[in-house]
Amino acid sequence: PPAEPLTERRQAGGVRTIVLKNPRRRNALSLPMLQSLRRDLLHDVKSRELRVIVIAAEGPVFCSGHDLKELSSEDDVKHHSQVFELCAEVMTLIQKLPVPVIAKVNGLATAAGCQLVASCDIAVASEKSQFATPGVNIGLFCSTPAVALGRSLPRKVALEMLFTGEPLSAHEALMHGLVSKVVPEDKLEEETMKISQKICESSKSVLALGKATFYRQITQDLDTAYKMTTKVMVDNLTLRDGQEGIEAFIQKRKPVWSH
């Protein structure tokens, strides 16, 4: 029989939900899973109808990271490089997309799965969720997850996770900034959709400009960041939706976005 798809993509009301659908393999980021996820992220991404992407998962494990069967000595260095290079491509792609990407986490996110959460723009987690980088325990330090983790968490928190492999609870992850919000499991869908729908009320072109600018300025020194964002603010005013928003505010009416 044909293999079942590893991800499922559905879209309604501007919100695309991508579901990792391989719970028997703990939604591991195998090469085929990464390829499927990349396809779903890039599908018709410039469409005016697409406003936000949500990444979710089936089963008790959000994502267990790389499929270790692909990393054994049975495969050569070329194959191992392909796996890690595609994973890095997908993680950086998330931040390059013109729409916000939300991780909806209900369960365990480990290693590259934790990296996936850290790479998303927003992360909403259920209270039962946990986050860990346990590669050190099997002799494979989570060096690539550390890139995203080190940019989301305080250095000492990230390094404790990386050195010990011990998990953070959902509330610890919230306290340290790995996730944006923690809610009871039965409220996870509602809260994620609430955030998504709020994003959908804004101009896609304005959000795309703002997201790209945020990630550019965050790596710059203060003076360079202000110089760059000052220019972007001026550029924002030249957008049709930039002027529409200001006119609507002055005229005390709701803006009509062109996106």
* DSSP state letter for 3: P
The three-state secondary structure class of 176 is helix
Task: For residue 218, give Cα distances in angstroms to 114, 168, 248.
Answer: 21, 25, 31
The pLDDT of 221-246, averaged and rounded, is 97
- pLDDT, one tens digit per residue, over 98-130 is 999 999 999 999 999 999 999 999 999 999 999
- pLDDT, one tens digit per residue, over 177-190 is 999 999 999 999 99
- pLDDT, one tens digit per residue, over 38-94 is 999 999 999 999 999 999 999 999 999 999 988 887 768 898 999 999 999 999 999
For all residues of the chain together, what is the average pLDDT? 96
The pLDDT of 193-212, averaged and rounded, is 98
What's the pLDDT score for residue 74?
74
Please state, in angstroms and rounded to a whole number, the distance separating the CA atoms of residues 242 and 236: 6
Amino acid (1-letter code) at residue 65: G
Please state, in angstroms and rounded to a whole number, the distance separating the CA atoms of residues 18 and 11: 9
Compute the radius of gyration of the chain from its Cα atoms: 19
Q: Is the pLDDT of residue 164 over 70?
A: yes
Work out the percent of the chain whose per-residue pLDDT is above 70.
99
Task: For residue 120, give Cα distances in angstroms to 102, 160, 240.
Answer: 6, 22, 28
Q: How many CA atoms lie within 13 A of 63 on its CB side?
A: 29
Question: Domains, the chain, ranges and CATH?
Answer: 7-200 (3.90.226.10), 202-251 (1.10.12.10)
Query: Comparing C-alpha atoms, which of 256, 138, 121 is closest to residue 192?
Result: 121
Angle at 183 between CA 13 and CA 125, to 5 degrees: 75
Query: Comparing C-alpha atoms, which of 233, 231, 87, 72 is closest to residue 139?
Result: 72
pTM for this model (two decimals): 0.96
